[in-house]
Amino acid sequence: MTDFPATAGNHDGFANFRQCLRRVRRPCRKPHGRSRDDHQRRCRADAAPPHRTATRLEAAEEPPGSGWGSDGDFARNRPPVRAPAERPLLRREAPVTASAPLPTGTELLARLDRLPVGKPHRRLMLQGGLGYLFESYDAVLLGYAASTVVALWKVESGLAGWLLASVFIGYLIGALAAGLLADRIGRRRVLMYALLVYVAFTLVAATASSPGELILWRILSGIGVGAEATMIVPYISEFLPARNRGRNIGNTMVFLGFGYILAGLTAVTVISPSPEPGWRIACVICVAPVLLLLWWRRTLVESPRFLISQGRIAEATEIVERFEREIAARQELPPVPEVVEPAAKPAPSRRSAIRQFAALWAPGLAGRTAVVCVLWFAIQATHYGYGTWLPTLLVLKGFTISKSFAFALASAVAQVPGYYVAAAISERLDRKWTIVVFLCCSIGCAAGLGTATDDVAIFCFTVALSFFMNGVAGPLYAYTSEIYPTATRATGMGLASATARVGAIMAPVAIGYLYADIGFGGVFAVLCGLLLIGALVLAVAGLRTAGRSLESLHAQPASRARDDQPA
C-alpha cells in the first residue's frame, strides 16, 4: 500500500482526494489507493470513528503493526516519520513556564524600580519627547501665524483671541477624556488614538478658508494633542526609578523647547516670506507625527503599574522581564530588595467617571488636587497668554513682523537650557522648591518686560522669561504625576491638565479684550499676579517628592480614600 498525505477531517469525494494528493504536511492514519475509487472506498468503509489526521508526534509514537488494515502492510511499508523538532519562539511569543508561579505585583514593582536607567527607558523618553515636540510646535505655531492670519482675513482682536484659544478648547476636552480612558483601557491605547486624531484634523485645518472654519478644525485637532500630551509624563514616570525620576522627566521636557524652536524656524522660513500659503504649509508639516504613530504601534508597551492595578500580572511580568533582559545585556543588575506584601489586596474594579473624579477629592488627596489645579491654572495661563500673544504684542508695540518673529525665536532657544537646569536641580532642591524658585524668577522677568522701553531690554527680559517659565515645566509635570496612586494617576493628571487648558483658553481671550484698556505693561502685570498666587499656594501646601517611590508617596492617603487602589 501507498500512504498518501491527507488533510484534516473526513475524506469523502474527489475534491478531498485531490487535496490529499496535493498537501504533504501531515500523514494520514489510513492508507489510500492510487485511484479515486480506491480512495473513496477505503475512506468511506469505516464511518466510526471519524477519519482524522494524525499529528506528527502521534504518528511517530504509533507502535509497529498498529496501522489501519488487518494485514498490517500499512505499518510495514509506511516510511518512518520523525518527531518534530522544537519550534523557536516567535518574536511576540512569551515562553510558557507553567511550573513557575507568577510573582506578586509588589515583587514586580520592586524589580522594576531597582533597574538602572537603560536602553528601554531612554527609548520611552525619546518617544515621549517627540510627542511633546509636536505638541509645542502645534501650540505655538498658530501664535506665530496669528498676525499673518489676522491681517489676511481682517480679523478683529476679540475673534483673534478665540482663534488663539481654539486649540486649548480641544486640549481641555482631550485632557479630561484621556485621564478617564487611560485609567480604564490603558495608557498605550490612549496615546495611539490621540495621536491619530491629531494628525487627521491638523491636515484638514490646512484647508480652512475662514476664521470660523479654522477655529473648528483647531478644536478637533486639539482634542488629540491634548490627550496625548496629558498621558506622556504619567506613562513614562511609571517606568522610571525614584532616585532620578525628576531629572529624566525634565530631560524629556526639553523636547518642548525643540518644538518651540522648530515653530520659530518655520515662521521665519515658511510663513514670513509667503504668508498666505506659508501658514497652510506649516499645518501640513504638523502631519509628520504619523511617522511617530507607526513607531509607537510597533514598540510602545503598556505600563506594568497599570496592568498590575487591573490584575493582569502575567502581562506585567513579561514587560518587566523584557526590561531586565535589555538592561542586563549591557550592565549588571542590582539585587532585588526585600518587599513586604500589603495586608489587603482589593480586587480590580472599574469606577464610573464621576467616581473617578470624586476619588481625587477623597481625604488625603483633596489637598493635593487643589494645589495642582491652582498651580497648573496660574502657570499655563501665564505661559500661553504670554507665548501665543508675544509676536502680536510686539507688532502692536511697533516692531515689524520679521523682528517680532526673531524675538520670539530667540525666546524659544532660551527654553532648552532652562529645562536642563531645572531638571538638574530638581533632585537636590526637590520638585516643590524648584518650581517656587523658577516662578519667583519669572515674576521678576515679567515685571521687567512689562516696563521695558528699548529693544535691548525687551530682548533680554523676553529671553530670561522664556528660560524660567519653560524650565518650570519639567518639575511641574513630574510633581503632578508623582502625587497620585496608579488607579487615579491618569485621571489626576487629566484634571490638572484640563484646569491648565481653562487658563490657556481664558488668557489669550482676556488679553485680546483687555489690551486696548491696560496696554502692554498691564498685560504683564496681570500675568505677574497669577504667578505669585501659584508660587504662594505651592510653598505653603505643596508636598516634597524627590527620592521617594510612587507607592510611598500615596500609601497613606490611598489607604484612607474610599475605593482607591494601591499602585
Q: What is the DSSP letter of 94?
A: P
Tell me the C-alpha distance between 148 and 157, whole Å. 13
From-to residues of CATH 1.20.1250.20 in the chain = 105-338+351-560
Phi, psi of 69 (to 5 degrees): 115, 150
Q: Is the pLDDT of residue 501 over 70?
A: yes
Tell me the C-alpha distance between 236 and 408, whole Å. 30
Q: Beta-strand (E) ranges in 264-376?
A: none
Q: Is the pLDDT of residue 405 over 80?
A: no
Tell me, which fold does domain 105-338+351-560 have in CATH? Growth Hormone; Chain: A; (1.20.1250)
Q: Is the pLDDT of residue 346 over 70?
A: no
Band of residue 485 on the pLDDT scale cut at 50, 70, 90: confident
pLDDT, residue 372, reads 93
Q: What percent of the chain has pLDDT over 90?
A: 17
Q: Is the pLDDT of residue 348 over 60?
A: no
Q: How far is CA 148 from CA 265, 274, 400, 415, in A?
A: 15, 10, 12, 25
Tell me the C-alpha distance between 283 and 194, whole Å. 17
Mean pLDDT over 495-512 rounds to: 84
pLDDT, residue 274, reads 79
Q: Which grid cell is 477?
A: 509635570
Phi, psi of 27 (to 5 degrees): -80, 140
Tell me the C-alpha distance between 77 and 310, whole Å. 57
Q: Is the pLDDT of residue 368 over 60?
A: yes
Q: What is the DSSP letter of 2?
A: B
The one-letter amino acid code at 90 reads: L
Band of residue 43 on the pLDDT scale cut at 50, 70, 90: low
Long-range contacts of 396-401 (CB under 8 A, 24+ apart): 396/515, 396/520, 397/520, 401/147, 401/148, 401/272
Among candidate residues 519, 542, 501, the one with its CA nearest the CA of residue 166: 501
Q: Lowest-confidence range among 62-66, 181-185, 286-290, 563-567?
A: 563-567
pLDDT, residue 445, reads 92
Please write the tens of the pLDDT for every residue from 94-110. Answer: 444 444 678 888 888 88
pLDDT, residue 537, reads 95
Q: Is the pLDDT of residue 551 over 50?
A: yes
Among candidate residues 508, 506, 494, the one with its CA nearest the CA of residue 228: 494
Band of residue 239 on the pLDDT scale cut at 50, 70, 90: very high
Q: What percent of the chain has pLDDT over 70?
A: 74
Q: Which grid cell is 520?
A: 502692554
Among candidate residues 197, 181, 199, the one with its CA nearest the CA of residue 189: 181
Q: Lowest-confidence range among 114-123, 321-330, 348-357, 430-439?
A: 348-357
Helix 401-429 to helix 119-153 angle (10° resolution) is: 150
Q: Lowest-confidence range among 11-25, 221-235, 361-375, 469-483?
A: 11-25
Mean pLDDT over 305-316 rounds to: 90
Bigger pLDDT: 430 or 376?
Answer: 376
| Mean pLDDT (the chain, rounded) | 76
Which pTM does this prediction carry? Answer: 0.67
pLDDT, residue 322, reads 93
Bigger pLDDT: 336 or 55?
Answer: 336
Q: DSSP string of 386-453?
A: HHHHHHHHHHHTT--HHHHHHHHHHHHHHHHHHHHHHHHHHHHH-HHHHHHHHHHHHHHHHHHHHH--
Band of residue 143 on the pLDDT scale cut at 50, 70, 90: low
DSSP three-state, residue 519: helix
Cα radius of gyration (the chain): 31
DSSP three-state, residue 210: coil
Q: Which grid cell is 215?
A: 477655529
Please write the tens of the pLDDT for every residue from 113-138. Answer: 899 999 999 999 999 998 888 888 88
Band of residue 565 on the pLDDT scale cut at 50, 70, 90: very low
Please write the tens of the pLDDT for every residue from 427-467. Answer: 788 889 999 999 999 999 999 988 888 888 888 998 899 89
